[in-house]
Amino acid sequence: DCIFSDVESAPPIEVFQMSKLYNESTNPNKVNLGVGAYRTDEGKPWVLPVVSTAELQMANDRTLNHEYLPVAGLPDFRTAALRVLFGSDHKVITENRVEGFQALGGTGALRLAAEFLKKVLKFDIVYVSSPTWGNHKGVFKTAGFSEIKEYRYWDSETRGLNLAGMCEDLRAAPPKSMVILHAVAHNPTGVDATKEQWAEIAKVCQEKQIFVLLDCAYQGFASGSLDEDAWACRFFANQDIDLFVAQSFSKNFGLYNERIGNLAVVTKDPKKLPEIRSQMEITIRVMWSNPPNHGARIVATVLNNKAYFEDWKGQIMTMSSRIKKMRHELADNLKRLGTPGNWDHIVKQIGMFSFTGLSPKQVEYMLSKHVFMLSSGRISIAGLTPKNVQYVAKCMDEAVR
Ligand code: PMP
């Protein structure tokens, strides 16, 4: 008798399932619009030149070794990550009211946040946007949250933000609730709040004393500017509230497989930082004990060198501009084909994704044409290239007719 005989298959992880189908497909027209990873005009992954420069420098540096990092992570990385997020002269930095904890990607930062919120601060209720990134609910559920609630976000009529619905849902939150807000480039919709709308959201959270966790996975990908894309994080941190920000460098550094992220903890009371730090360390200790070095070292090397930092900003601009260009090309192709419906949202949405509005049935048609995308209708714009955009538009056109 095998101890595993009663083990049943878990549901597939849709986004990785799509990559598998794409890799297995022998169709010459196949396109992968599932996974949110940057691709070049040739449809290839891109190692940022500044990352290669940092890696070469690291390889030649005989003073480096493979000793364990501190439990909370590489100090140079943690402080540099906070500077890029808040700006070096932000008051939470000058007043020493923030500390970063290195984590395994944005996911690890979220998981660390969830563990701390549940075990140390005794939170049980989390609000996530409807729809949201496919992993938010699972991470918080696994950390022991008993209630995963949704707030309205996407308005399918206007293909924009349902601010009234969002605020109404948050206003109805029970005491001791927390909320995950996408800091920039909302995944999957590509729809963000305006500055005025952010102010309203912040007001509701303050009035209802809802603890805010900002998920910042795409800084630089929306506007091309690190400062502009950090606006919501800096704004919330300005409100003299306690706050978490989960930062990911997977996308803006193209370091997907290095698992490099940071959990920024902003506190009203800096005197509590030693206690917060000790609880974070003990939480990290039982999960991954101490974090990996390579990605942290790359990010620290780039952020702490003026010339490399400028190079990096340019390379972020390259990525965000190409994505914007592909949005326009897709929309132009649909217009040219006279595809029924309004497709302006493809150009208006920001960041890596577009929520196309294709129905599950229309998505099935796309899959049959070997254009791989999520059943929600989300496509990764980064997967479009000058060579495949016409084919994708043609398939979308056929799907909606
Ligand atoms: N949050 C959001 C909204 C994301 O889209 C992603 C990546 N898809 C993450 C967090 C996690 O990023 P990472 O790969 O760094 O774990």
Question: How far does the centroid of ligand 1 lie from the alpha carbon of residue 214, in Å?
Answer: 12
Q: Are 46 and 181 in contact (CB under 8 A)?
A: no
E strands within 255-339?
A: 260-266
CA-CA distance, 188 to 351, in Å (whole number)? 10
Question: How far does the centroid of ligand 1 lie from the alpha carbon of residue 105, in Å?
Answer: 7
Give mean pLDDT in consecutive 10-residue pieces for the chain, a chain of 401 residues. 95 93 96 95 97 98 97 98 98 98 98 98 98 96 98 93 98 98 96 98 98 98 97 97 98 98 98 98 98 98 98 98 97 97 94 94 97 96 97 98 94
Question: How far does the centroid of ligand 1 lie from the alpha carbon of residue 367, in Å?
Answer: 24
Question: How far does the centroid of ligand 1 lie from the alpha carbon of residue 36, in Å?
Answer: 9
- List the structure tokens of 65: 């070794």
**Whether 313 is catalytic:** no
Binding site membership of 250 for ligand 1 (Cβ less than 6 Å): yes
Query: What is the value of ipTM here, to two decimals?
Result: 0.99
Nearest to 190 by CA among 385, 397, 347: 347
Rounded to 10 deg, the angle between the 389-400 and 360-368 helix axes is: 130
State which ligand 1 atom lies nearest to the alpha carbon of 250: 15
Nearest to 39 by CA among 321, 339, 319, 376: 319
- By the 10 Å C-beta count (0-12 exposed, 13-18 middle, 19+ buried), 208 is classed as middle
- Look at ligand 1, atom 8, and give the residue with the nearest C-alpha: 36
E strands within 19-164?
A: 31-32, 98-104, 125-130, 147-152, 154-155, 160-161
Binding site membership of 184 for ligand 1 (Cβ less than 6 Å): no
State which ligand 1 atom lies nearest to the alpha carbon of 249: 15
Nearest to 322 by CA among 378, 380, 366: 380
How far is C-alpha 199 from the geometric centre of its chain's CA atoms?
Answer: 21
CA-CA distance, 33 to 38, in Å (whole number)? 10
Give CA separation, 208 vs 6, 69, 167, 233, 245, in Å.
46, 39, 11, 19, 19
Binding site membership of 182 for ligand 1 (Cβ less than 6 Å): yes
Q: Select which of 215, 229, 343, 369 is catalytic.
A: 215
Binding site membership of 301 for ligand 1 (Cβ less than 6 Å): no
How far is C-alpha 104 from the geometric centre of its chain's CA atoms?
Answer: 13
Q: Which residues contact 332 (CB under 8 A, 6 or more apart)?
A: none
**Whether 215 is catalytic:** yes
- Look at ligand 1, atom 12, and give the residue with the nearest C-alpha: 106
- List the structure tokens of 195: 């500055």
Q: Provide the b/e sequence for 116-131 (b: ≥16 CB within 10 Å).
A: bbbeeeebebbbbbbb
Residue 243: per-residue pLDDT: 98
Q: Are 124 and 146 in contact (CB under 8 A)?
A: yes
CA-CA distance, 262 to 80, in Å (whole number)? 10
CB atoms within 10 A of CB 301: 21
Tell me if the pTM is above 0.95.
Answer: yes
Q: What is the DSSP letter of 239?
A: T
Question: How far does the centroid of ligand 1 lie from the alpha carbon of residue 357, in Å?
Answer: 22
E strands within 169-276?
A: 177-182, 211-216, 243-248, 260-266
Sign for the pseudo-dihedral over CA of 163, 117, 245, 105: negative
